[in-house]
Amino acid sequence: MKRKGFVCFVVIIVLALGTSVFGQDRFRWRAGSTWTPAINLIDSDRYFVKIVNEMSGGRITMTHHPAGEIVPAFELFDAVAKGALEAGFDWPSYWASKNTAFDLFGSVNFWFTPGDYLTWVYHGGGLQIIREVFAKYNLYYIPTGLTPSESGFRTNKPIRSIADYKGLTIRTPLAQTMWILEQIGAKPVKIPGGEIYMALKLGTIDGAEFSNVSCDWGMKFQEVTKYWNVPCWFQPSSLLGVMINMDSWKKLPKDLQAIMEEAGKAAVAWSNGHWNWLDAAATANFKKAGTTITVLPSEDLKKLEQLSVKFMEMEAAKNPDYKKVVKSMMAYLQAFAPVREWQGEWSFGRNPTIYPKLD
């Protein structure tokens, strides 16, 4: 009798605590993405999901769904904001039509390299500003990826000067870049990444840009373009992240929120090295495939930079959020300028002039 009584007591306790211990503390989340499996930017999404699922010990189960599996890429923002999905991996600049401040979070013409984003986001007040803007749309934001410099424009007509842009229909999604291209006579269009290959193959567009070199190689742009124009003045780096429905975020216990925050930092660091490493082989592959690299002269880059600043001034006058972001970024750049000056070419990116002979 005593044993039966003890068993009944345990069963009652388990049932009583079940909702608090075994139910409320476990969460199942679906996370959409703006990327298809053919786009290797999806790698940072998957890394983040893996880390969160493992570190939480099963208390949160996040499933990853590529673009189109649940919602199309450009519908992801609204789906997460409204709670149709708990989360969605993105590139913030896709949402510039909702608020032009998002354009700066994803990439900035002539400005932020990976090191700049890393410093500004985590130490220069950037993350706070990013979250302030996303919060206006019922979203919480965690950075999860940081690309190296993007490739540049891939075209079927050579671009050797500003004049060569005239008349070209070019795919690019960044609002700042689109405006600049219009000023120099090009015709910018915004289409999802998964549609670029066919648009180039059919000749619907004359050229396109998408992401870093390994990503472009994986999307097989070497099959449908002949020329590669450098440097990539319009996207020296891109910040990626995960949008989280604010209501879903607030339901998480503090320790699970902390796990997600740290998983984001891990994914940012891992992804940048990951894509840097892949870009070395991809660059060699493009050359072997016969792609011709063309270089814009420095005087033309100066003209393009002047246009980029003009766009910032115009947009800042219209949008207080945009102005706040530009002022914060500019304050960081001006504060860091003396450091960059003394670092010179020994900052990240210098190529040695001579190597030791080891064999």
pLDDT of residue 354: 63
pLDDT of residue 10: 43
The CATH number that domain 153-236+291-341 falls under is: 3.40.190.170
pLDDT of residue 192: 86
pTM (predicted TM-score)? 0.89
Number of C-beta neighbours around residue 150 at 10 A: 21
Q: Beta strand 169-171 with 187-189: parallel, antiparallel or unpaired?
A: parallel
CB 91 within 8 A of CB 85: no
Low-confidence stretches of the chain (pLDDT < 50) are 1-2, 6-21, 23-24
**In the chain, what are the domain boundaries?**
28-149+237-278, 153-236+291-341
The answer to whether 28-149+237-278 and 153-236+291-341 have equal CATH topology is: yes
Arch. (CATH architecture) of 28-149+237-278: 3-Layer(aba) Sandwich (3.40)
